[in-house]
Structure 1
Amino acid sequence: MLGWIIAMVIVAALGIAGRIGWSHLEKEHHEARNLPLKVIDFSTLAEGTYQGAYEGGMYKWRANQCQVTVSAGKVADIQLTGSMDPDKERAGAQMLYDRVIQAQSLQVDTISGATLTSKAYLKGIENALVQAQNG
């Protein structure tokens, strides 16, 4: 009988811990899904190299830094210079950066399977481009 009681207490504790964890995860996902991106006029960017960063949201899971190079009136290069994402190799940052360079816009398709991380990376680029606008 005591074994069943202990098992029930353990199951209840795991259920509560799981619910709390899920609640935190859901809050962070909601924030990332609703992350606003400014419409940046790429034709107004001053030449130079700019550092951008995004602090990663409420739990800092998607913190990242990038370097954006503007040359000849266009975004010519974007490099990921730092990321807290342990899965950054699979997040497709360079593919996303190539899309931004190709479109000369932040309004690009995110990486399938890494939508929330893609939005965080786009926010880092945005923060660099805001500096380029004020060049």
Structure 2
Amino acid sequence: MKRLLKIAASILILIAVICAGGIFYISRGLEEGQNLALNGVDPPSLSDGTYHGIYDGGRWSNEVNVTITNQQISEIEVVKDVRFPKPEVTGELISRVIQEQTTAIDAVSGSTVTCKAYLKSIENALNR
């Protein structure tokens, strides 16, 4: 019986360690992402072409290619998605950026950090 209790205690400790590690992984970069400053972009000042941008922020890390045509953002391609992508959020955000021609837009409700991560990689591409 004592042996069984030791095994059960060991299993519980292992589960607790795994849960703590998971919480750490999921929340790593969260505060930084919430406080991420966005500076905007100025497409009319850019030459036509495709620009590559990266944002490195834990599970929100991503890479994009931004195409400028006739001094306007014409396409945004996600090269490397965030760790837990939400295609509907990404699609809506990219549509807004192309429609408004800026990264100074509101985040999609419930996905603020993910949106800011994508907006920052778009800025990083166009502000080089």
State TM-score, norm by structure 2: 0.77
Letter in 2 for 1:49: G
Tell me what 1:52 maps to.
52
Structure 2 CA distance for partners of 1:37 and 1:90, relative to 1, 3 Å: same
Which secondary structure does the structure 1 equivalent of 2:29 belong to? helix
1:78-97 aligned at under 5 Å gives the runs 78-80=76-78, 82-85=79-82, 87-88=84-85, 90=87, 92-97=89-94
Summarize the Cα distance change of 1:130–1:99 in structure 2 as closer, same or farther, 3 Å threshold. same
Q: How many angstroms does 1:106 deviate by? A: 0.8
Q: Provide the C-alpha distance between the structure 2 equivalents of 1:84 and 1:73, rounded to a whole number of angstroms.
A: 26
How many residues are treated as equivalent by the alignment?
A: 127
Percent identity, aligned pairs only?
Answer: 28
**Alignment-derived partner of residue 65 in structure 2:** 67
Partner amino acid for 2:104? Answer: Q
Unaligned runs of 5+ in 2: none
**Corresponding residue for residue 32 of structure 2:** 31
Paired residue secondary structure (1:38): coil
Q: Secondary structure at the match of 2:106?
A: coil
2-side partners of 1:7 and 1:103: how far apart? Answer: 57
Q: Deviations over 1:93-126 (max 9, x none)?
A: 2321110122222121223443322222111110
CA distance in 2, matches of 1:37, 1:129: 12
Following superposition, the deviation at residue 17 of structure 1 comes to 2.7
The answer as to whether partners of 2:68 and 2:74 remain within 8 angstroms in 1 is: yes
Give the deviation of 1:6 after TM superposition.
Answer: 1.3
Q: Distance in 1 between matches of 2:56 and 2:61?
A: 4
TM-score (norm 1): 0.74
Tell me the equivalent position of 2:9.
Answer: 8
